[in-house]
Amino acid sequence: MKGQHVAGTNTVSVVDGLSDDEAACVLAHEISHAIQHPPSASYAAPTESERQHAERVAHGSASLILHTLGGPDYDAVAIRAAYSDFVPFDRLDSSELREARQVADIVVRAVSMYRAG
Q: Say how far apart CA 109 and CA 117 lie, in whole Å.
A: 12
* pLDDT band at residue 75 using 50, 70 and 90 as cut-offs: very high
* pLDDT band at residue 114 using 50, 70 and 90 as cut-offs: confident
- At 46-58, the pLDDT tens digits run 899 998 999 999 9
* pLDDT band at residue 67 using 50, 70 and 90 as cut-offs: very high
Q: Look at residue 96 and tell me whether its pLDDT is greater than 90.
A: yes
* Bridge partners for 14 per DSSP: 3
Its pTM stands at 0.91
Q: Which long-range contacts (CB under 8 A, 24 or more apart) does 90-95 make?
A: 92/56, 92/57, 92/60
Domain boundaries, the chain: 3-116
Q: Is 18 left (phi over 0), alpha (psi -120 to 50) or beta?
A: beta
Q: Which of 58-62, 85-89, 96-100, 106-110 has the lowest mean pLDDT?
A: 85-89
